Structure 1
């Protein structure tokens, strides 16, 4: 093992110069610095673009936090209250909190950050907000109509609270000045940042003094850095790397369930996949557990419904599971008029059933899953062309209506309450990371009722109904549930995986004796 970090990073930079650009004057190479490597580039300073990086590195904070079950916890807001009609929320700002520039956190500063976030594309647009203002030590949010998951929005990274000095002309973010346990000391988008412990932090002080973040898109690069001792925490490993690193004496591999699902999206509005029976047939042709075991090397993660039981409120235990039954798939195709041609491909009205599946390599498992799906669907007579492109190709094809199939991973708890993401993805016919051309009035009614319901029993019944409608219509077809994986240096203790992928957990970790 290479134990000198300077040498390790020189090695990586030489081997992967197109990915990593490391300078000799940066603290990345110094020992006693906790280095994090992940695939996510730093797109800029704005919270709507890269807020999740600063949140995961615990540089910035939001008004609310969440526990392991997604329930709201006090953070920069120490308590909250909602009016009887659900339209006025009062959040009391925690006293004694300092921004990294030494100024005090106030209700005015918090309201300003939220109002700035409102003007941009982000989760706050899910709630119909009439006004956000400061009254004494409270932030007041007035809604046009009730929105139950508002607290979940206020825990999202795009709603982080920054100091007044962080904003420039037209409220553009010019500096990242947060309140977190770590203070930014270096920022070089799109690849790296460095931070140090903020001694004026209002909460428990971390034991790790300095940390860095490096964006490395290629899985091979991250694996090499794990093996060589070039970083303390490597986030998101592909299945072959997990097996390889589990044999290493230098790192620990930790895996944990997260509310991310691999889904196959089809065009529900036009083309061959418009009939629900065709989408059901595609689903029946998929051997999910085989993909989970052979491709993901994670048995028992084949998705029998949209959500696994780690999101208990959204997992319907009474729902008949999605099954593998190629004979039943063939019967459904046949009933829709598709007959096998001389080349084995299904035909109807002189046209072969040939579909183009878009996917991307940012998540290295996706092209492998796409290849497996291609082979499985070929067995029932569907010819699939796999196109590995940039992730942006999927929303682009959705927008122009040319999308036939798309394979991607979707985190339905980007906002801690999955209802918010489902509302954006599936509501009113779907969006670019949701269905295309799908319409189900019963689904829309259930979502609307759930947003207004105050009855926990009714809420659960509605969640079960929503999941069941997705299971029947399959506007997106669940393939596999995710297990997140990280590699952690052996001299680090306290590492874990945040089930909501909000933090790398720096404040919980420490150097071992």
Structure 2
């Protein structure tokens, strides 16, 4: 007679053999797939795993810090930036980090769909020990852009003649030994790391899309760090003695984007009516299990961007119905709104990589049905959102957007709303807003400039904020020194260690 397997034993039989091969490695499980060895495509993972580094770093408050560049300066006309390369840094293949090598990596990055395409860069060259970046116009946000993962620096040997990345050769505390997209990255301690050798001998990343599977990995002890837990898993894992469940507020938002070119959303009044139909507080508590209703675009943790004086986005289903009626939408025989023969029926696109998204979509479907809007949910690959945006066929999308892609949120605003971007507003044009974002990126500015941008987003609602995020991570008590970074740049692997 066969005895039933424990959850841990059953799950172990389902894991790839490689995931159980090296007990000395620290395992990280997260929902994000590795697309390739190119930092432009998967640099966020390589950065978190301490394999690839950027010229500039940032701390947990978003303050810029030296990294592969140990200092920088700008010319009086603000058109020439010089980033001095830190001496004594070695790539994982043994070659030295030089200004020439760093300039080569940045030049290849600037030719791809990376963050540098949004900066007014005229040229990137090496002069002695400096990477010299010449601009077409002043751009105060450049150092923050060079902290973004898509500007990760690889060795010259990592690139083919056409700029394609053929090997993952960085400068970080861990050296890649195995890369198998979309799921697996294995890396061993790089003893020649300029910041001092890590204490952990090896690390391993597994891209596991299902939240339930990641939670089982934490519970079974098959991963020491498990990122992006769903609320149900958080409740269960908090009672597991071998784990600590940690959370931190993030500059990331749950957003509902609408196609403003459609007759459902082409007026501010209709978008405000749609916003009024959303019970953000109830949704956040029921789905996310923490009080994080987004009353405006920027959360309180984003100092200088959050404005306490703004009138918050509220909930009033009756007011929403009245506003739709004023805009010409009246209930049909089945209760769904109609206007000039057009039925208010739309597709809501989302994706399961973040487990809260399909659940939130289901709640929104019911809230919108209550005011006469028929919604069909399509939970698919996240890449469908920018693809349908570019094709002009997107109707409505629910997604998470990180306003700390660069340590300064101006980078995300510049990419999404000045004037547009695949993850930003669709069909919205506001010349004042686009110019203000461009000016803030070029010249810098104060809290009043940032508040003005927040006010415009709240008054015109080109996208609808739903909730502010918290990152929830399960960490094994067998390891100490793990960092839950609100800017999602680091897990602290290079300073972490196993507990005896």
TM-score under structure 1 length normalisation: 0.93
How far does the alpha carbon of each residue in 1:287-311 deviate from its partner, in whole angstroms, 9 at most, with x for none?
A: 0011110111112x01011111111
Q: Helix, strand or coil: the match of 1:298?
A: coil
Alignment of 1:477 onto 2:464:
yes
Report how far residue 27 of structure 1 moved: 6.9
Separation of aligned partners in 2, 1:450 and 1:268: 26
Larger mean CA deviation between 487-496 and 286-295 belongs to 487-496
Q: State whether residues 20 and 222 of structure 2, in contact with CA within 8 Å, keep that contact through their aligned partners in structure 1.
A: no
Where does structure 2 lack aligned partners over 5 or more consecutive residues?
1-5
Alignment of 1:498 onto 2:485:
yes
Aligned counterpart, 2:183? 191
Flag the 1:8–1:327 CA change in 2: closer, same or farther, 3 A.
Answer: closer
Correspondent of 1:221 among 185, 202, 213: 213
Aligned counterpart, 2:497? 510
Alignment of 1:445 onto 2:444:
no
Q: Helix, strand or coil: the match of 2:304?
A: helix
Correspondent of 2:290 among 279, 298, 306: 298
Separation of aligned partners in 2, 1:282 and 1:202: 53
Aligned counterpart, 2:78? 86
Report how far residue 324 of structure 1 moved: 0.9
Aligned counterpart, 1:4? none
Q: Helix, strand or coil: the match of 1:329?
A: helix
- State how 1:423-434 maps to structure 2 within 5 Å: 423-428=414-419, 430-434=420-424
Report how far residue 449 of structure 1 moved: 2.6
- State how 1:178-257 maps to structure 2 within 5 Å: 178-257=170-249
Q: Helix, strand or coil: the match of 1:169?
A: coil
Report how far residue 13 of structure 1 moved: 6.2
Aligned counterpart, 1:152? 144
- State how 1:335-414 maps to structure 2 within 5 Å: 335-414=326-405
Separation of aligned partners in 1, 2:428 and 2:12: 47
Aligned counterpart, 1:268? 260
Q: State whether residues 208 and 510 of structure 1, in contact with CA within 8 Å, keep that contact through their aligned partners in structure 2.
A: yes
- Alpha-carbon RMSD: 1.7
Correspondent of 2:153 among 143, 156, 161: 161
- State how 1:295-334 maps to structure 2 within 5 Å: 295-299=287-291, 301-334=292-325
How far does the alpha carbon of each residue in 1:267-298 deviate from its partner, in whole angstroms, 9 at most, with x for none?
A: 11232111110100010111001111011111
Correspondent of 1:422 among 413, 417, 426: 413
Q: Helix, strand or coil: the match of 1:372?
A: helix
How far does the alpha carbon of each residue in 1:371-392 deviate from its partner, in whole angstroms, 9 at most, with x for none?
A: 1111111222222222212222
How far does the alpha carbon of each residue in 1:467-487 deviate from its partner, in whole angstroms, 9 at most, with x for none?
A: 111101111000001111111
Larger mean CA deviation between 161-170 and 115-124 belongs to 161-170
Q: Helix, strand or coil: the match of 1:145?
A: coil
Q: State whether residues 63 and 161 of structure 1, in contact with CA within 8 Å, keep that contact through their aligned partners in structure 2.
A: yes
Aligned counterpart, 1:174? 166
Report how far residue 53 of structure 1 moved: 1.5
Aligned counterpart, 1:3? none
Aligned counterpart, 2:3? none
Aligned counterpart, 1:43? 35
- State the 4+ residue runs in structure 1 displaced beyond 3 angstroms: 7-15
Correspondent of 2:473 among 475, 486, 506: 486
Q: State whether residues 268 and 276 of structure 1, in contact with CA within 8 Å, keep that contact through their aligned partners in structure 2.
A: no
Report how far residue 425 of structure 1 moved: 0.6
Report how far residue 344 of structure 1 moved: 2.2
Where does structure 1 lack aligned partners over 5 or more consecutive residues?
1-6
Separation of aligned partners in 2, 1:210 and 1:404: 45
Separation of aligned partners in 2, 1:341 and 1:170: 58
Alignment of 1:75 onto 2:74:
no
Q: Helix, strand or coil: the match of 2:123?
A: strand
Report how far residue 126 of structure 1 moved: 0.8
- State how 1:26-65 maps to structure 2 within 5 Å: 26=18, 28-65=20-57
Report how far residue 317 of structure 1 moved: 1.7
Alignment of 1:12 onto 2:4:
no
Q: State whether residues 155 and 416 of structure 1, in contact with CA within 8 Å, keep that contact through their aligned partners in structure 2.
A: yes
Correspondent of 2:103 among 106, 111, 114: 111
Q: Helix, strand or coil: the match of 2:472?
A: strand
Report how far residue 14 of structure 1 moved: 4.2
Separation of aligned partners in 1, 2:63 and 2:482: 22
Q: State whether residues 32 and 353 of structure 2, in contact with CA within 8 Å, keep that contact through their aligned partners in structure 1.
A: no
Q: State whether residues 8 and 216 of structure 2, in contact with CA within 8 Å, keep that contact through their aligned partners in structure 1.
A: no
Q: State whether residues 254 and 496 of structure 1, in contact with CA within 8 Å, keep that contact through their aligned partners in structure 2.
A: no
Q: State whether residues 227 and 248 of structure 1, in contact with CA within 8 Å, keep that contact through their aligned partners in structure 2.
A: yes
How many equivalent residue pairs?
A: 495
Alignment of 1:122 onto 2:114:
yes
Q: Helix, strand or coil: the match of 1:70?
A: coil
Report how far residue 54 of structure 1 moved: 1.3
